[in-house]
Chain A
Amino acid sequence: MTKETAYAVEVDRLTKRYGDLPAVDDISFTVSKGEVFAFLGPNGAGKTTTVEIIETIRPPTSGKVNLLGMDVTKKKHDIVHRIGVLPQGFSSFDRITVRETLQYYARLFSVKTDIDGLIELVNLGDKTKEQYKNLSGGLKQRLGIAIALVNDPEVVFLDEPTTGLDPRARHEIWEVLLGLKKKGKTVFLTTHYMEEAELLADTVAIISKGKVIAMGTPGELIESNANYLALTLKPVDEKVFEIVRKMGFGPVLDNHKNIKVRVEHTYDVQKILNAIKDAGALYLGLDVRKPNLEEVFLKLTGEALREDPDEMEAE
């Protein structure tokens, strides 16, 4: 029986093992109705395994998962009508057009769908007669999101919707997701892009090696785990590094020979700049900013969210 609950998703002590290897290790969390919940973690952290268990694609090894008050291991038939899913690496039938694909999925759900409205929502108006195989990566993902919405679901799962897309296509997807947020849909988003989580999510759960290691709003996570300012200096002479080091701030040089310093207060920034000026040293530019989720993640796990340096460079 379906029980009424304020939560769209309730995960209680969920574990999934492949042989002896725990992909998801005793995790618990809840997702409130109407919120955008981001599951943030690097590749292999257990994001997709968790979300596929919630979506009823995979059975759990142990633990309990309820979706809209229904046990995912027992109520698959009821659940699939109330959720929309964009799986990781979404793909569809090569020779079927955008409109036909949406009509096909609408028929699977036996629902009357406003296909034109969906096409407009994901901005595919000029591609309706295009076959799936001829769409670019970004357009395919937008179609995938539209498919996830054909049955007007209460909860939408988007598993890495922007992975592998170029920055422009990624921003276009974000526009679509912001539209969903405005409509008040519950969205469960998995991503390894921290800016995606920061931009879209009401709540972020950070997962690493199968465990949820932190959860809260992006602001809360940054506040409680990275309460500092990040100062970047582009020095002209090498003296600058020594000056900052001698002040006891622990500077580091990045790949571009920029000096990166973490300080607690804005007056620390002023102190450093004054010391450089007094020593007659020069710098070409500086940047002061609050830390982001990437730095929170680094602090919590000691590993980078993305392992592909080229991908980071591209941004």
Chain B
Amino acid sequence: MNLRIISANLVVKLMGFYREKTTMFFTFAFPIILILVFGTIFMSQDSMEYRLCVQDLDRTNASAQSIKTLGLNGKFKITSIDPAINAAQYVRDNRVNLVLVIPKGYESSLMQRMMLKDFNASVTITYIYDPSSSSVITKMQILNSVLAGINQGMSGKPPFIRSVEKSILTKKYRFIEFFVPGIIAMSVMTLSLFGTVDSDTELRQKGVIRKLSTTPITRTDWILSNILYHFILAVISTIAMLLVSYAVFDVSLHIDAWLLAFILLDVFAFVGTGMILTRFVKEAQSAAAAANAISYPMMFLSGSFFPIELMPGFLQKIARTLPLYYVNEGLRASMVFEDNMAALRSSAIIGVYAAVVFILGIMATKWEEGK
């Protein structure tokens, strides 16, 4: 190992990267764009208000009061629609996914129940909905819970089962705070994997590696400078992502040495994977396809964008075999939950993976021809 050679190689790589403006833009800007887009989408979901169309066929004080109660919940912005029109047609024509219909006789049934204590008196509220809408089920579930609350209130008796929410976290976290560590893990993976595969395949194809093999630089020097290069890019990219996240979304994330440790492990794991791929892929175009084939399933399955609990059981099992899953878990453990033991467990798993893959990568890297 020769530090002078490693630094010479590192400088050349960084200069080449700096002068390749398009690559630089996509390396740093792409994860930031993801954070901005998804962050904005999910931030608004944290305080989401649904539009609720209500058709009041009873047109009485009692029905108006009930509609007001629905609005007070804070989840719905009420739009009244004309009792004379066909609600189903309204749903079709106006691209709304749900109309709640309060039947005629609502007030009289309510009086019968409340004043005359006729417990057989009831009303049926109709949901006229478009089942092709993805959010309508959530909307109906919220409505059901609101209606259940009204029914409970009308019974005049306190509920037997009550619930109380206790978060395992000391602070209340938003989606964006879970999302940012996932994007850091994913972008470090892609820049390490694609960077290694693209550059090594291109340099091999063009004969630069053959030329280098006639100089004092060794395979170890080359690989170490590659690791350093990708680590520096990963740190710069992470700093950029964090700055944007703090500036735009005012995130609350815990930053300590674990962040650097996981970035380094992420780099080792995926530079190693890239080195193995490079051995089997001869041309630059196939190299990009091979790297895509690995990185895309990895980023979607390992919980970078959404929790793996949303996936079917067998996919969750697959997710737990993926290295990126443990980088995600480890980064969230340190940055969100501030759980050192969980971070340690994840780092041990990704550490073993990185070591194995990196050693295989070194063995797979051809330096001299025909060996």
Q: A109: which of B207, B216, B368 is its contact (CB, 8 Å)?
A: B216
With both chains docked as a complex, state the minimum distance between the C-beta of B22 and any C-beta of chain A, in angstroms: 12
Chain B 197-219 interface 0/1 with A at a Cβ cutoff of 8 Å (1 = within): 00000000011101111111100
The verdict on A57 contacting B20 (CB below 8 Å), with A52-B369, A96-B12, A104-B8 known, is no
A95 CA to B16 CA in the complex, in Å?
5
Chain A 162-175 interface 0/1 with B at a Cβ cutoff of 8 Å (1 = within): 00000000000000
The verdict on A58 contacting B368 (CB below 8 Å), with A87-B207, A88-B207 known, is yes
With both chains docked as a complex, state the minimum distance between the C-beta of A129 and any C-beta of chain B, in angstroms: 12
Verify if A113 is at the interface (C-beta below 8 Å from B): no
Q: A87: which of B4, B12, B214 is its contact (CB, 8 Å)?
A: B214
Chain A: residues with Cβ within 8 Å of the partner, total of 30
CB pair A55–B214 under 8 Å, yes or no, is yes
Verify if A183 is at the interface (C-beta below 8 Å from B): no
The verdict on A108 contacting B369 (CB below 8 Å), with A87-B214, A100-B15 known, is no
CB pair A87–B210 under 8 Å, yes or no, is yes
CB pair A110–B4 under 8 Å, yes or no, is yes
A268 CA to B19 CA in the complex, in Å?
67
Query: Which residues of A from 76 to 103 have beta carbons under 8 Å from B?
Result: 77, 80-81, 83, 85, 87-96, 100
Verify if B5 is at the interface (C-beta below 8 Å from A): yes
Which residues of chain B come closer than 8 Å to A90, judged between CB atoms? 207, 211
A77 CA to B219 CA in the complex, in Å?
12
Verify if B157 is at the interface (C-beta below 8 Å from A): no
CB pair A100–B216 under 8 Å, yes or no, is no
Q: Is the interface of A mostly helix, strand, loop or mixed?
A: loop
Which residues of chain A come closer than 8 Å to B7, judged between CB atoms? 107
Verify if A56 is at the interface (C-beta below 8 Å from B): yes
Which residues of chain B come closer than 8 Å to A56, judged between CB atoms? 213-214, 368
Which residues of chain B come closer than 8 Å to A94, judged between CB atoms? 16
CB pair B19–A131 under 8 Å, yes or no, is yes
Residue of A nearest to B19 (CB): A95
Verify if B312 is at the interface (C-beta below 8 Å from A): no
Verify if A59 is at the interface (C-beta below 8 Å from B): yes
CB pair A57–B369 under 8 Å, yes or no, is yes
A280 CA to B28 CA in the complex, in Å?
84
Verify if A105 is at the interface (C-beta below 8 Å from B): yes
CB pair B214–A57 under 8 Å, yes or no, is yes
With both chains docked as a complex, state the minimum distance between the C-beta of A131 and any C-beta of chain B, in angstroms: 7
Residue of A nearest to B7 (CB): A107
With both chains docked as a complex, state the minimum distance between the C-beta of B213 and any C-beta of chain A, in angstroms: 6
CB pair B368–A108 under 8 Å, yes or no, is no
Verify if B371 is at the interface (C-beta below 8 Å from A): yes
With both chains docked as a complex, state the minimum distance between the C-beta of B60 and any C-beta of chain A, in angstroms: 77
The verdict on A91 contacting B215 (CB below 8 Å), with A59-B368, A108-B8 known, is no
With both chains docked as a complex, state the minimum distance between the C-beta of A109 and any C-beta of chain B, in angstroms: 6
Query: Which residues of B from 335 to 371 have beta carbons under 8 Å from A?
Result: 368-371
CB pair A81–B216 under 8 Å, yes or no, is yes
CB pair A59–B211 under 8 Å, yes or no, is no
A147 CA to B206 CA in the complex, in Å?
16
CB pair B211–A91 under 8 Å, yes or no, is yes
CB pair B207–A108 under 8 Å, yes or no, is no
Residue of A nearest to B218 (CB): A77
Residue of B nearest to A83 (CB): B214
CB pair A95–B8 under 8 Å, yes or no, is no
CB pair A105–B215 under 8 Å, yes or no, is yes
With both chains docked as a complex, state the minimum distance between the C-beta of B229 and any C-beta of chain A, in angstroms: 13
Query: Which residues of B from 1 to 30 have beta carbons under 8 Å from A?
Result: 2, 4-5, 7-9, 11-12, 15-16, 19-20
Interface residues of B (CB under 8 A from A): 2, 4-5, 7-9, 11-12, 15-16, 19-20, 206-208, 210-217, 368-371
A-B contact pairs, 12 of them (CB 8 A): A52-B369, A56-B213, A56-B368, A57-B368, A59-B371, A83-B214, A87-B211, A90-B207, A91-B211, A95-B19, A96-B12, A108-B8
User: What are the 10 closest A-B residue pairs judged by CB atoms, nearest first?
Assistant: A107-B8, A91-B206, A85-B214, A95-B19, A95-B16, A108-B215, A58-B370, A58-B369, A89-B207, A91-B207
Interface residues of A (CB under 8 A from B): 52, 55-59, 77, 80-81, 83, 85, 87-96, 100, 104-105, 107-110, 131, 147
Given A92-B211, A131-B19; 13 other pairs, CB 8 A cutoff: A55-B214, A58-B368, A77-B216, A80-B216, A85-B214, A87-B211, A91-B208, A94-B16, A95-B16, A95-B19, A104-B12, A109-B216, A110-B2
